[in-house]
Amino acid sequence: MTKQQIVEEIAKSSNIEKIAVQQVIESFMEVVKKSLAAGEPVYLRGFGSFIIKHRAEKAARNITRNTTLTIPEHNIPAFKPAKVFVKEVAQEVK
């Protein structure tokens, strides 16, 4: 499902104009990005958490050149779904 499809679905179910829904979704994504960039996780009860995961420095191999390079430590954004979310999705697959 794309962002546009989400906008259309929310607009249909809530009787709100697509432009307003799109602005809200864009604002939500900006807030999440800014919070994670500031090192603050975003918790959405019943849905999940947007968190920052720390990756330690590690050695990697370039097999075509047969060389070793070092990947520096870094942070990556991650999503951890809530137990309710996981349970609902797991039931839908059956």
Q: Tell me: pLDDT of 94 over 60.
A: no
pLDDT in tens, 46-72: 999 999 999 999 999 999 999 999 999
Are residues 2 and 10 in contact, defined by beta-carbon separation less than 8 angstroms? no
Residue 93 confidence class, pLDDT cut points 50, 70, 90: low
Tell me the whole-structure pTM to 2 decimals: 0.78
Q: What is the pLDDT of residue 1?
A: 93
Q: What is the pLDDT of residue 92?
A: 59
Determine the Cα–Cα distance for residues 10 and 83; give it in Å rounded to an integer.
24
φ, ψ (nearest 5 deg) of residue 31: -65, -45
Question: Within 10 Å of residue 21's Cβ, how many Cβ atoms?
Answer: 19
Structure tokens at 83: 């137990």
SS3 45: coil
Domain boundaries along the sequence of the chain = 1-40, 41-94
**How is domain 41-94 classified at the CATH fold level?**
HU Protein; Chain A (4.10.520)
